[in-house]
Structure 1
Amino acid sequence: MNVNSWSKNLVSGYWPKREPNSHKGSHGKVGIIAGSETMPGAAALCAAAAVESGAGLTTVNTLRSVIPIVAGHVPEATFYYRDDNLNGFLEGKDAVAAGPGLGRLSDDIIEDLITNFNGPLVIDADGLYKLGSHEDLIRKRTAPLIITPHAGEMARIINKDIEYVNSNRYETAAKLAADYGIYVVLKGPETIVAEPEGGLWINHTGNSGLAKGGTGDVLTGMMLAFIAQGTDIQPAVSNAVYLHGYAADYLIEQGVAIETVTGSKVINVLSESFQAALT
């Protein structure tokens, strides 16, 4: 098994460049399908992270009641009503993420995306709940699919228990990526990025302050933005994982108590932590 570490030098080497004459369309048009009446914050965190990570245009597909809440936190975002046709939302998108705060009744949306969206697709959180039932559709898909499970979600996908996943993290991530032909981001201490061709990349940034609701939504937004800016999938995903953890470490270095690390605080220091990581 070919296991590699993702490093600060690799982050710099794959950092997306911004040309002086570029415009918002040059840096990726991303779509986020997220949020529900009981979990509007997931959509806000994901969208804010995408904007802060450089996405050129971020559009959030959510409930009408959620839009004012997200807009209050992310004025740069645009919106799409979830009850409108999904094909209209997907048009022109360079990458799409789905799942944060959607709720467990979102499976029709996930099936539609796997089947009909021909760009890079990131599935996280509630979007993973019934992923195993779509194995045949996933195998037929030709565009990149990236999933971001924690150990519990991974256990459900592969029909094993959490103890099995935690005891076999490398093997579990590698096998699912190869079997389904997808990229698997197995979150946790030393998050693993598994490529469909067999490569495994291990991340060494981050701390237990990230073990809190909302931080995964931030990672999804960062990942989406980096993918849409034109970097190859694995480097984009690994950069997001590295810098997400790096921002959490940066907070601790600045005197933030580890118990008080939140997704919002991670977003608030992305600018400073990007600068520190790239120097």
Structure 2
Amino acid sequence: MSKRVSDLIDPSQFAQIFAVRDPAGHKGSFGSSAIVGGAPSMVGAAVLAGRAALKSGCGRVYVGLAQESVLFDVDVGQPELMWRALDALIDISEQITAWGVGCGLGDSNYGLQCLKAVFSHRAGSPLVIDADALNALARGDVSATWGQGSVVLTPHPAEAARLLNTDVSSVQADRIKAAQTLAARFNAWVVLKGQHTVICRPDGQCQTNTTGNVGLATAGSGDVLTGLLTSLLAQGFTTEVAVPAAVWLHGKAADELVAQLGGPIGLTASELIDTIRKLRNTLKPN
């Protein structure tokens, strides 16, 4: 834990995500994301993550709801999303190229079953763990038995404090140390959200993000980030590319919205999604 210096995220690290796509590509060329969450009364979290995954370029996006009796089977605003009962999603797990779990997962027994099922069946595909899934990990309801393959934890400061069995003020007092401790404890990438989000590799190397503003302090913002990150991983980008790219793009979209529409007061998570799409299609970093 001696490494305490953090570099800044630079778009040159992930210039390839802005490259023109092969015109011969098809939906199978661009990966399949699976979002698992959306317990009763929290379906919106899964919707936001699914929409973000789709509009940031994933070829196919499946959403598995953490509900024993699923009544929701279509997002009329984004009918391209494919809704599945968890068992049906697990049955096609070999097709999934990245998983995102936790957005609106809740803390029911069934939600925990869903989380454990993803851990057991992801078969080495990249895994993004957010929100209620992090809380389950902190409570000890699940353990870090997620097998081989890259894992990304995306806590906000309160979630990080629970995982570290400490308080928020201690996390915020040394965000780099907190991220490094989590990365070492779970052998995972860590995205410690908040002002100047810190990303940390499993080996303890950290970077700090400079994009974004307080408009991101709104419900659903983290769900959009989870969907974006899952999408980039599903498309085949490495964690070294996808993690800083997702964090930077998420913040850049918030900055663009404030510049164009005013803010940061009143910025909503759903607005971020189309702006992320636009940025990915128009930016050309050196």
TM-score by length of 2: 0.90
Check conservation: 1:11, 1:278, Cα contact below 8 A.
Answer: no
Q: Is 1:198 matched with 2:200?
A: no
- Secondary structure of 2:265's counterpart equals helix
Q: Is 1:221 matched with 2:224?
A: no
Q: Tell me by how many angstroms 1:273 deviates.
A: 2.9
Counterpart position of 1:121: 127
Q: After superposition, where does 1:47-62 map in structure 2 within 5 Å? A: 47-62=50-65
Counterpart position of 1:8: 11
Q: Tell me by how many angstroms 1:147 deviates.
A: 1.0
Counterpart position of 1:254: 260
Check conservation: 2:184, 2:202, Cα contact below 8 A.
Answer: yes
The 2-side partners of 1:57 and 1:16 are apart by 20
Root-mean-square deviation (Å): 1.8
Q: Tell me by how many angstroms 1:18 deviates.
A: 2.2
Q: Tell me by how many angstroms 1:4 deviates.
A: 1.8
Check conservation: 1:61, 1:89, Cα contact below 8 A.
Answer: no
The 2-side partners of 1:135 and 1:184 are apart by 17
The 2-side partners of 1:98 and 1:206 are apart by 24
The 2-side partners of 1:17 and 1:31 are apart by 25
Single out whichever of 211-220 and 31-40 deviates more from structure 2: 31-40
Q: Is 1:150 matched with 2:153?
A: no
The 2-side partners of 1:113 and 1:16 are apart by 32
The one-character-per-residue Cα deviations of 1:126-146 (angstroms, maximum 9, x if unpaired) are: 1111213244525xx221111
Q: 1:86 to 1:225 in 2, by over 3 A?
A: closer
Q: Tell me by how many angstroms 1:86 deviates.
A: 5.3
The 1-side partners of 2:132 and 2:193 are apart by 15
Counterpart position of 1:104: 107
Check conservation: 2:18, 2:282, Cα contact below 8 A.
Answer: no
Q: Structure 2: state its 5+ residue gaps.
A: none
The one-character-per-residue Cα deviations of 1:31-58 (angstroms, maximum 9, x if unpaired) are: 1112122111111111110111000000
Counterpart position of 1:73: 77
Single out whichever of 261-270 and 203-212 deviates more from structure 2: 261-270
Counterpart position of 2:246: 240
Aligned residue pair count? 274
The 2-side partners of 1:239 and 1:163 are apart by 28
Check conservation: 1:16, 1:229, Cα contact below 8 A.
Answer: no
The one-character-per-residue Cα deviations of 1:70-98 (angstroms, maximum 9, x if unpaired) are: x212111112113x355314231000111
Q: Percent identity?
A: 34
Q: 1:20 to 1:40 in 2, by over 3 A?
A: same
Single out whichever of 198-207 and 8-17 deviates more from structure 2: 8-17
Check conservation: 2:199, 2:206, Cα contact below 8 A.
Answer: yes
Q: Tell me by how many angstroms 1:15 deviates.
A: 4.1
The 1-side partners of 2:91 and 2:255 are apart by 40
The 1-side partners of 2:119 and 2:62 are apart by 19
Single out whichever of 105-114 and 123-132 deviates more from structure 2: 105-114
Counterpart position of 1:30: 33
Q: Which amino acid in structure 1 is aligned with residue 102 of structure 2? A: G
Check conservation: 1:5, 1:203, Cα contact below 8 A.
Answer: yes
Q: Structure 1: state its 5+ residue gaps.
A: none
The 1-side partners of 2:232 and 2:102 are apart by 18
TM-score by length of 1: 0.92
1:271 aligns with one of 274, 277, 280: 277
Q: 1:254 to 1:146 in 2, by over 3 A?
A: same
The 2-side partners of 1:39 and 1:111 are apart by 19
